[in-house]
């Protein structure tokens, strides 16, 4: 198994000044991370340049919160892979449940975004996950499988991260149990068909549940929302420790 990927998604939080302050507090706490992991932050587009400068030379990487499938054009509010890469961005989140819900993004569009990202040299972080009612109705596996299969069509799984984010666990404080998260991440791994694909768990990940999540055999990373806004808490997440026996 390759390196784990610990990602923070700031969503619509953090001005440039706040991003700068975050970096000053965060960097000393992640100065000697173990070499088995990558850590990245996905700030709002406006804070990318500032954060890239603040993190330069630290090894902490930057992700975009989305990416368009076209190189340029009349797409108000969107951003291209080249625009992100100009600032050293290495990853792009696609298919997060928020744009799926608020902007009605489809699996087909998400796949186009992921393909464009990969072709440009960005690692797509493809988010998948079921809603509360889909889980209640026994639909979770079918929904996730469809999102995975359509999302990864035409992609190289070696240059991909898949994030399992049950919608009912996002921002709610309700973490999916570690064993169930691991089971679904294992299924995702088998549907991708590449044993070494990085599969993250996301949904109310915090400093106090990170060690248990990262001890699971099929979870090799996390996508963190709310808890990535606090430099001390996110540094603890980045410094997760898995007991030797796990």
x/- letters, 164..193, toward ligand PGA (CB under 6 A): -x----xx----------------------
One-letter-per-residue 3-state SS of 81-111: HHHHHCCCCCEEEECCHHHHHHCCCCHHHHH
Question: How many whole angstroms separate alpha carbon 132 and alpha carbon 146?
Answer: 17
Closest approach of ligand PGA to the CB of residue 50, in Å: 22
> Is 165 part of the annotated catalytic residue set?
yes
The answer to whether 5 and 200 have CB atoms below 8 angstroms apart is yes
The answer to whether 66 and 95 have CB atoms below 8 angstroms apart is no
Helix/strand/coil for 124 = strand
Tokens of 40: 């990245």
User: Is 43 one of the binding residues for ligand PGA (CB under 6 A)?
Assistant: no
Question: CA end-to-end span of the chain, whole Å?
Answer: 15
* Active-site hit among 96, 98, 105, 130: 96
Closest approach of ligand PGA to the CB of residue 96, in Å: 6
Closest approach of ligand PGA to the CB of residue 9, in Å: 5
Question: How many whole angstroms separate alpha carbon 223 and alpha carbon 164?
Answer: 9
In the list 63, 64, 203, 221, the residue contacting ligand PGA (rule: CB under 6 A) is 203
75 or 222: CB nearest ligand PGA: 222
> Is 18 part of the annotated catalytic residue set?
no
In the list 226, 234, 237, 238, the residue contacting ligand PGA (rule: CB under 6 A) is 226
User: Is 105 one of the binding residues for ligand PGA (CB under 6 A)?
Assistant: no
Known catalytic residues are 96, 165
Q: Tell me which residues touch ligand PGA (CB under 6 A).
A: 9, 165, 170-171, 202-205, 223-227
């Amino acid at each position: 198994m390759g390196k784990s990927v610990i990602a923070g998604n700031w969503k619509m939080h953090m001005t440039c000044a706040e991003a700068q302050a975050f970096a000053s507090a965060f960097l000393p706490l992640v100065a000697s991370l173990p070499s088995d992991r990558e850590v990245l932050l996905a700030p709002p587009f406006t804070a990318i340049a500032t954060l890239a400068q603040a993190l330069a030379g630290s090894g902490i990487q930057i992700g975009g919160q989305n990416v368009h499938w076209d190189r340029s054009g009349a797409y108000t509010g969107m951003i291209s892979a080249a625009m992100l890469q100009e600032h050293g961005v290495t990853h792009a989140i696609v298919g997060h449940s928020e744009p799926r819900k608020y902007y009605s993004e489809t699996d087909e569009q998400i796949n186009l975004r992921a393909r464009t990202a990969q072709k440009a040299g960005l690692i797509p972080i493809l988010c998948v996950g079921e809603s509360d009612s889909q889980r209640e109705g026994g639909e979770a596996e079918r929904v996730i499988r469809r999102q995975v299969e359509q999302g990864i069509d035409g992609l190289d799984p070696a240059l991909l991260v898949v994030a399992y984010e049950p919608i009912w666990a996002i921002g709610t404080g309700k973490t999916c149990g570690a064993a169930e998260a691991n089971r679904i991440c294992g299924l995702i791994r088998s549907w991708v068909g590449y044993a070494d694909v990085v599969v993250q768990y996301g949904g109310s990940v915090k400093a106090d549940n990170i060690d248990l999540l990262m001890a699971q055999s099929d979870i090799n990373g996390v996508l963190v929302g709310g808890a990535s806004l606090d430099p001390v808490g996110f540094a603890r997440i980045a410094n997760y420790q898995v007991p030797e026996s796990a």
